[in-house]
Structure 1
Amino acid sequence: MRIKTSAGEKAFDTFNVLLLLALCATILIPFLFVLASSLSSTTALIQGRVRLWPVEFNLDNYAMVMTNAVFWRSFGISVLVVTIGTLLNMFMTVVTAYPLSRPKLKGKKAVLLGIVFTMIFQAPIVPTYILVKQLGLLNSIWALIIPAALSAFNLLICLTSFRSLPEELLEAARVDGMNEYRILYRIVVPLSIPILVTLILFYAVGHWNNYFAPLLYITKSSIRPLQLYLYNIIAQFNMSDTFPEALDAAQKVSPQGLQMTVIIVSSLPILLIYPFIQKHFIKGALLGSIKE
């Protein structure tokens, strides 16, 4: 049976569709411009003829980026930081959230208060920098990993998910002789896959897009991550140490075209991974939103 809708409801639905389409356009138009610029010729870019479609299509910019050793070194550093950092983040989040989610843990209110306090009052930049320096982490990938080992916001999300698990199930496991470590590994983690995948995405994207921490702690070009590499060629407009061969190929490529190409290539990993974990992301984002 088809439910009839009133004229007001149809107008409201139409307005929502148009509004969402407008929002999508505001997101896609800048991305399309960057993509078109990366595929356009140097002459078209200099003359300002590129809009949302490539002009005088060519792949010279991509060929130069793909053969640039400095780019791939920075890309590898970013992949290493994301891999190690995300693994450490998830370990710290899970082993912290599980005991705090148990109702019989003594003193957990004080611990949670301390965690919330760090969300409201964050440490200033200068004391943080001094601490990282005194720990000997400057010019090391660990300076990008250890200070961000645990996110209070993600911890609270994981904590809420663990609290939603039935306590009777965990008690039955204890009666069967399982200790807390086995309960966490064999029961809690498998039942919390959607929220854990969501947190993995949060942490991985955070590490991948982070450029402020490398800007503070990294001065050696040999361990410069991808986002700091992007900063050098876009904000600093420094092409000499990132694309030295571009100076000899000025007729084929332009600094703007190389900048746009690096932006596209550096965005591809996240864009390619997201569709495969989208179903877990949507389900995990909704966990904890409904209370009994």
Structure 2
Amino acid sequence: MLSLKRRTFKEAAFDQANNLLMLAICFATLYPIWYVLVNSFNDGNDAMRGGIYWWPRMFSLDSYKAVFANDGIMLAMGITVAKTLVGTVVHVFFTAMVAYAFSRRELIGRPIYMVIGTITLFFSGGLIPYYLLIRDLGLLDSFWVYIIPAMFSFFDLIIFLSFFREIPDALEEAAKIDGANDFKIFYQIILPVSMPVVATIALFHGVYQWNDYFTGMIYINKSELQPIQTYLYRVVAQSSSNQMVAATTGSIAKTVSSQSIKLATMVVTTLPIVIAYPFLQKYFVKGFMIGSIKG
């Protein structure tokens, strides 16, 4: 009886220690976001004094007014929305179509293709050869540099493949008896019954497209084609925030600073995906479980 109580006490202590550890990790993760948010809503000049940790000392929306008054950030937001929508649809459709072909046992050379695709998960040609390829394809300073190179992902193909292998062969056999070809089977049977994995891959790639700043930084020189994350990089790492402050007129100019402009821009660029992610997380979990449980 004593040993049972002692074990129970150890388990309770272990649980409490885990709870404290998880709370510390959550705080370390969330507080930097809260700090940025609080300081972005504070008067810019007052925030330069420091000492703002939990609540705005002088609440002000002027930094956000200065951000939204800038035409560049709204254009960058439009580019980001467009490339996220177009890129996600193209990526899901193309990757699903290739994965369906890989799921066919009669595909000639399938083992070789799988080996080649697996190698690409661990090795790449490097940035310089990739840049030269993008240049030779004529995709520099083009909107399609966001879409075409990201049309296919072998990692996403593996997820699709795991799901497609669970689809009963009887569905396809019945469709072939009715005279359907492979394209009709894919469009009218495979895709409709694969909505869980389609939603999962769409969320994976949509988050990637929204957060991608590197493509715009390396392959785009035209400011009108840069996405919002690249714009954020310019604001934080370069002198764009000082230029926005200089361009601000009226009473707003007296209450903003380069630092407050940076913080407000960070909130504007990250808030949409931060709000959407908790509602979409269940699809990520479901996607990871695809193919792991049978029956």
Please report the TM-score for the alignment, with normalisation by the length of structure 2. Answer: 0.90
Q: What is the Cα deviation at residue 155 of structure 1?
A: 1.4
Alignment partner, residue 278 of structure 1 = 281
Give the Cα separation in 2 of the matches to 1:243 and 1:125: 35
Amino acid at match of 1:130: L
The reply to whether residue 260 of structure 1 matches residue 259 of structure 2 is: no
Contact 2:103–2:165 at 8 Å: present in 1 too?
yes
Alignment partner, residue 213 of structure 1 = 215
Q: What is the Cα deviation at residue 164 of structure 1?
A: 1.9
The answer for unaligned runs of 5 or more in structure 1 is: none
Give the Cα separation in 2 of the matches to 1:46 and 1:240: 15
Contact 1:40–1:55 at 8 Å: present in 2 too?
yes
Q: What is the Cα deviation at residue 240 of structure 1?
A: 5.3
Alignment partner, residue 224 of structure 1 = 226
Give the Cα separation in 2 of the matches to 1:103 and 1:7: 56
Contact 2:245–2:258 at 8 Å: present in 1 too?
no
Match of 1:156 among 147, 155, 158: 158
Matches within 5 A, 1:70-89: 70-89=72-91
Contact 2:241–2:261 at 8 Å: present in 1 too?
no
Contact 2:43–2:256 at 8 Å: present in 1 too?
yes
Match of 1:101 among 97, 100, 103: 103
Q: What is the Cα deviation at residue 98 of structure 1?
A: 0.6
Question: For 1:157-185, what per-residue CA distance to the aligned partner results, in whole angstroms no more than 9, with x for missing partners?
Answer: 11111112222333233333332222222
Alignment partner, residue 272 of structure 2 = 269
Q: What is the Cα deviation at residue 291 of structure 1?
A: 5.8
Q: What is the Cα deviation at residue 29 of structure 1?
A: 0.5
Match of 2:239 among 220, 237, 242: 237
The reply to whether residue 251 of structure 1 matches residue 251 of structure 2 is: no
Q: Which piece of structure 1 moves more, 122-131 or 161-170?
A: 161-170
Give the Cα separation in 1 of the matches to 2:185 and 2:241: 54
Q: What is the Cα deviation at residue 66 of structure 1?
A: 2.0
The answer for unaligned runs of 5 or more in structure 2 is: none
Give the Cα separation in 2 of the matches to 1:163 and 1:170: 12
Alignment partner, residue 12 of structure 1 = 14
Give the Cα separation in 2 of the matches to 1:188 and 1:19: 45
Give the Cα separation in 1 of the matches to 2:46 and 2:243: 25
The percentage of aligned residue pairs carrying the same residue is: 39
Alignment partner, residue 146 of structure 1 = 148
Contact 2:66–2:244 at 8 Å: present in 1 too?
no
Matches within 5 A, 1:109-188: 109-188=111-190
Contact 1:75–1:225 at 8 Å: present in 2 too?
yes
Say how many residue pairs are matched. 289
Give the Cα separation in 2 of the matches to 1:243 and 1:219: 23
Q: What is the Cα deviation at residue 230 of structure 1?
A: 0.6
Q: What is the Cα deviation at residue 242 of structure 1?
A: 5.1
Amino acid at match of 2:138: G
Contact 2:241–2:262 at 8 Å: present in 1 too?
no
Give the Cα separation in 1 of the matches to 2:53 and 2:183: 57
Contact 2:245–2:257 at 8 Å: present in 1 too?
no
Contact 1:36–1:55 at 8 Å: present in 2 too?
no
Which SS does the other structure have where 2:85 is aligned?
helix
Amino acid at match of 1:220: K
